[in-house]
Amino acid sequence: MSDIYVPGLKSRFDTEKLVEGLMKVERIPKERSEKQVEHLQAEKTYWQDLSRRMSTLRDSARFLYSFQNPFNEQTVNSSDPSVLSGTSTREAVAQEFSFTVKQIAQADRFLSDPIEDSFTVDEGTYTFSMGKQGISFPFRGGSLREFIEILNRRGRDKIGGSLIAIQPGKKSLLIESRITGAENSLIFSDAAEALGLRSGMLEQVKEVSRSLQEEVLMVEPGGTAFIPFNIEGSSVQNAILQFEIATKVQQNTVSSEEQTEFPPEDAANQGSDENPAATAIPSWTPLEPVAQVDDMQVLYLTYSDGTNSALPPIVDSNDFNTYHYRFIDVAGDKIDKTIVSLEIVNKNTHREVSIRNLQFIDSEGEGGLKPRNPVSVAQDAVVTMEGIEITRPTNKIDDLIPGLTITARSPSDKPIQLKVEPDREVVKDAIISLVGNYNRLMADLNVLTRNDERVIQELSYLSEEEQADLRKRLGIFMGDSILSQFKTSLQRAAAATYPTSANRDLALLAQIGIGTDIRGGGSSSGYDPARLRGYLEINEKVLDEALQTNLPAIAQLFGSDTNGDFIVDSGIAYAFETLAKPFVEIGGIIALKSGTIDSQISQEQRRVETLERQLALKEASLKNQYGQMEGAYNRMERMSSSLDQFSQQGNTR
């Protein structure tokens, strides 16, 4: 049917087909230019991908010897992280410490008696204080749940509350401070005090304090005195012992020089040459001056079993200064014993010690109230470091050792060892990252510069899609001498020797378990062409041992300063970074190649545009010519038909 000619619908000579056939030949230069554009764009993409690989290798190499290199990172290992843990910065010095966590810092947490679900909170202003901090807010009255929502919203990181279901129909209200430390006791004021009493969270204290000694008691130098009292420590753990102390330093009337330099005049004259009859007296020997004693540790608590515990040292002051201590802090593990007296032992040779206004104060009953059901009470963290006791209001302590932060997590009598040491895992990860980036770059270089399918098959870690993509790139830069030289230089850098403090014992990558044939150990395991392509392998066991025993030399192996100008100028990482830099820097080799390709792409695209215009004109011209030809043929055919009709008419006549 396609060969049937229908006048007005189809060309007699199939003009479109003829024109298309001719244009197909004419389009060959344009199609060739379009393919060239696609090829150039692919080349540009391959160069850009190669640039990213080189930049990644350069960054991982520079990281190993830069100011922020991982060899300066420190880590903290604890013998029992559940008791004490630590973190460190790069400023920390590698060393080991012994800590004992006597107690951890806590905040006040008070629980009410079981109360009915129908319990309502009265209208009023509710004020809660925690040391120097606190909150105050008005409440219009309502349920416990509504009150807690407002308390949590206003309290945020200072105070909070919750409801605990005790039994069906009854709950307990828990109000907790979120600020630890003995000085941050939770105090209820205004309507909060009434709520605490109504809910059974607080109770009145009948006796808040009592006086143990009011008059001034003065203890001479070298003297001892006792202030007797009888307090059962286990029942007043949070009670406070308060007193005032003053000291007076005595001045010597005769100096040590006056006592020792000049002998008595009469003694000097007896038995001389002028008076030979006088009885000779032995020469005068000055007395040794009495050693001066300064000891501010003068106060001790004495217990019923005869033992005692020292209170912190006092300070010199002519005026009376007030001191106060919680029994639980000064008694320690003796808190369960009965305290029978305060002993003043003045070992000083020249200092009087006076004490007055000794009082016992129930700290839990401050303001006449104390918690009935305390879940925990506000207290400081008490930690000893190498036998020195440290007290802090929080469990996170960062001001003891530069660069080290310790966190007390639970009390324990067992000493905890904290060891600050180099973070070898971070170093190991950085080295593995460098080797991985090196191998991936080497794989790309092998694919781009070799026309051998085996270089792709050897990369067994790649997915099928990644292998298919690499096949498109296979050998595309095979004639590029710059890439070939770069690949050879990388291989040489990986196998070269570098100066370190360990000298020949550590000068090669292979000596820390990294090389082209590490796992094989040089054994005769057969010919493996993959090992000739420059890929590096890692023997983790050897690497771990090297990191454990020779970390400073490994740091020098990757980057070191050999001339003392504080600028790294040697090392494997330095060599890698130096080789990659000319390719990836601004205006570098890859940038120039990409610029050249861009120019070629622009040139080919202009040619394609020109050819498209020419082809459009050519196609229009061919269609016009074939149209004219077909028109002329049609006219001739009509003329022939007219002549045939005229001839037939003549014959009929």
A 10 A CB-CB count for 367 gives 12
The answer, yes or no, to whether residue 5 has pLDDT greater than 80, is no
Q: What's the rounded Cα separation, in Å, for the pair 56 and 437?
A: 7
Alpha helices in 253-373 (DSSP H): 256-260, 265-269, 327-331
pLDDT of residue 258: 44
Per-residue confidence band for 259, with pLDDT thresholds at 50, 70 and 90: very low
Q: What's the rounded Cα separation, in Å, for the pair 282 and 260?
A: 16
Q: What's the rounded Cα separation, in Å, for the pair 362 and 11?
A: 117
* Closest C-alpha to 252, from 277, 223, 221: 221
The answer, yes or no, to whether residue 524 has pLDDT greater than 50, is no
Instruction: Answer whether 90's CB lies under 8 Å from 74's CB.
Output: yes
Q: What's the rounded Cα separation, in Å, for the pair 180 and 177?
A: 8
pLDDT in tens, 151-181: 999 998 999 999 999 888 899 999 999 999 9
Q: What's the rounded Cα separation, in Å, for the pair 438 and 486?
A: 12
Range among 224-233, 357-366, 464-473 rated most confident: 464-473
> In angstroms, what CA-CA distances link 545 with 272, 511, 512, 520?
85, 11, 8, 18
- E strand map for 35-141: 74-78, 84-88, 95-103, 109-111, 115-116, 120-121, 124-130, 133-139
The answer, yes or no, to whether residue 336 has pLDDT greater than 90, is no
Per-residue confidence band for 268, with pLDDT thresholds at 50, 70 and 90: very low
pLDDT in tens, 179-195: 999 899 999 999 999 99
Whole-angstrom Cα Rg for the chain: 48
Per-residue confidence band for 207, with pLDDT thresholds at 50, 70 and 90: low
Instruction: Answer whether 61's CB lies under 8 Å from 70's CB.
Output: no
Kindly give, in sequence order, each residue whose CB lies less than 8 Å from that of residue 65, ignoring residues fewer than 6 positions away: 555, 558, 559, 560, 568, 571, 573, 574
CB burial of residue 65 (10 Å; 0-12, 13-18, 19+) = buried
Mean pLDDT of the region 1-12: 49
* Closest C-alpha to 217, from 316, 331, 343, 361: 343
Q: What's the rounded Cα separation, in Å, for the pair 569 and 298?
A: 63
Phi first, then psi: what are they for 272, rounded to 5°?
-90, 180
Pair of tokens at residue 32: 């060739």
pLDDT of residue 253: 42
Mean pLDDT of the region 388-414: 93
- E strand map for 233-350: 240-249, 299-303, 308-310, 321-326, 338-345
Q: What is the mean pLDDT of the chain?
A: 85
Instruction: Answer whether 126's CB lies under 8 Å from 139's CB.
Output: yes
Q: What's the rounded Cα separation, in Å, for the pair 519 and 539?
A: 6
Better-predicted residue by pLDDT, 428 or 650: 428
pLDDT of residue 237: 60
pLDDT of residue 284: 60
Q: What's the rounded Cα separation, in Å, for the pair 108 and 374?
A: 7
pLDDT of residue 523: 46
Phi first, then psi: what are they for 536, rounded to 5°?
-100, 145
pLDDT of residue 254: 44
**Looking at residue 7, what DSSP letter applies?**
T
pLDDT of residue 519: 61
Instruction: Answer whether 355's CB lies under 8 Å from 243's CB.
Output: yes
H or E element at residue 212: strand 209-213
DSSP helix/strand/coil, 503 = helix
H or E element at residue 218: strand 217-219
The answer, yes or no, to whether residue 413 has pLDDT greater than 70, is yes
Instruction: Answer whether 295's CB lies under 8 Å from 289's CB.
Output: no
pLDDT in tens, 631-645: 787 788 778 878 777
DSSP helix/strand/coil, 596 = helix
Of the CA atoms within 13 Å of residue 497, those in its CB half-sphere come to 9
Q: What's the rounded Cα separation, in Å, for the pair 130 and 179?
A: 7
Q: What's the rounded Cα separation, in Å, for the pair 376 and 383?
A: 19
Residues facing 174 on adjacent strands: 111, 162
pLDDT in tens, 573-629: 999 999 999 999 999 999 999 999 999 999 988 988 888 888 888 888 887 887 787
Q: What's the rounded Cα separation, in Å, for the pair 328 and 237?
A: 5
Percent with pLDDT over 70 in the chain: 86
Q: What's the rounded Cα separation, in Å, for the pair 338 and 236?
A: 10
pLDDT of residue 645: 79
Pair of tokens at residue 274: 């002028």
pLDDT in tens, 38-72: 989 999 999 999 999 999 999 999 999 998 899 99
Q: How many helices (H) and strands (E) does the chain have?
A: 15, 31
Q: What's the rounded Cα separation, in Å, for the pair 52 and 342?
A: 76
Q: At what angle do helices 28-63 and 572-584 cross, to 10 degrees?
A: 150
Mean pLDDT of the region 281-303: 78
Better-predicted residue by pLDDT, 303 or 489: 489
pLDDT of residue 365: 47
pLDDT of residue 582: 95
pLDDT of residue 425: 95
H or E element at residue 514: strand 514-515
**Looking at residue 496, what DSSP letter applies?**
-
Instruction: Answer whether 302's CB lies under 8 Å from 309's CB.
Output: no
DSSP helix/strand/coil, 369 = strand
What b/e string do you get for 550-573 counting C-beta neighbours within 10 Å, with b at 16 or more? Answer: bbebbbbbbbbeeeeeeebebbbb
pLDDT in tens, 82-140: 999 999 998 898 899 999 999 999 999 999 999 999 999 999 999 999 988 999 999 99
Kindly give, in sequence order, each residue whose CB lies less than 8 Å from that of residue 189, ignoring residues fewer than 6 positions away: 127, 128, 129, 136
Q: What's the rounded Cα separation, in Å, for the pair 585 and 588?
A: 5
